[in-house]
Amino acid sequence: MPVGRVYGYLAHGSRKLSVLAMSPKGEFTQIQEVAINDSDVPEGVRAGRFTALCVSPDRRYLFASNRTAPYSIRSFAINRDDGTLTLLSETPTVESSPFLSTDRTGRFLLAAHNPPDRNRRTGFVTVSVINDGFLQPPHQIIRTPPKTHAIRADSSNRFVLAPACDADVVVRFGFNEATGMLDPNILSTLVMRPETGPRHYVFHPNNRYVYTLNEYDGAVYVYSFDPRDGAMSEIQVAFVRHPDIKPGENVRAGDLHITPNGKFLYAAVRGSCTMAGLKIDPATGLVSVIGHTPVDKEPRGFNIDPFGRFLVVNGLMTNTAVTYAIEPSTGELNKVASFSSMEDPNWIELVCLS
């Protein structure tokens, strides 16, 4: 069956972004390089090393966080004919942002903020209006517990979660898509075990389950989710810790993604340089670990193409973006291509434009 043209948007550090064309075999060709931050870094300012990206639901715009002070978010128009980017705006924001997403309408940008100064034990989430791709300064800023690392809306667009690694909590909000305002008062905060570090999460495509990934202990919490009122109940705790990681050692789990059909869940495990795979029971939402696939050092950022055929994981230390074919029945990963990228490849977005 023919599939559309897929493009990759790959961030390098917090300064550059590559536009890549993906072949039907999962191979990449670079077609453009654009700047996320083209200003000189002042002496004494800590340069951001990693960047967050997100694409609007209509695939017309891409947003990238500049994590070097003064902090900002750049918006780009996506050329639907060839995937190239054109800079639209650069908008100041409150802090360094490790995660961006839009609400389900594409009218608002949600951002999680994590100050790089570890003496500032706090985090923030913000909401900003998107006007034809041009981003406005945040109209809502909410202080959160420290190391807030992700934020996204469920498919009903009525609820938003924000995990905070160093507080071992997931903060929950109501969301009003008409006004673009978060309500922190309608849902209680989810509390994890101490020193577990909830970092990333995904909603199941059927919007009935939530999967959270802990950075420090490598636990995957599975929750039932009720989109009518946002209620969540823990139904399982699984682990992606590799056998080579000693008990009590920091697993350094990173990113988390689910296949579009909701059959498989994958977690980046930096402590063992592996990609952990989990199979999801379609009736219960519960997971079982498939195994660990060794990947290039170290797997900080990865993503799955819109058709669920390929998983692309970046080797931060090897300057590579490696493509794995996803076996449809087992979820097994088989390496099919490797692309030599610029330094510090981290976040990648994979987008179909036809």
Asked if pLDDT for residue 39 goes beyond 90, the answer is: no
Which domains can be identified in the chain, with CATH numbers?
36-191 (2.130.10.10)
Average pLDDT over residues 296-301: 92
Mean pLDDT of 166-184: 97
Q: What percent of the chain has pLDDT over 70?
A: 97
pLDDT for residue 314:
95
Tens digit of each residue's pLDDT (9 = 90 or more) over 101-141: 999 999 999 999 998 776 777 899 999 999 999 999 999 99
Cα(144)–Cα(115) distance, integer angstroms: 11
Whether 1 shows a pLDDT value over 60: the answer reads no
Q: Between these two residues, 14 and 46, which has the higher pLDDT value?
A: 14
In this prediction, residue 2 carries a pLDDT of 53
Query: How large is the average pLDDT for residues 50-57?
Result: 95
The pLDDT of residue 222: 98
Burial 229-249 (b: 16+ CB within 10 A, else e): ebebeeebbbebbbeebeeee
pLDDT confidence tier of residue 49, bands split at 50, 70 and 90: confident
Condensed to tens digits (0 to 9), the pLDDT of residues 221-265 reads: 999 999 999 999 999 999 999 998 888 899 999 999 999 999 999
Confidence of residue 14 (pLDDT cuts 50, 70, 90): confident
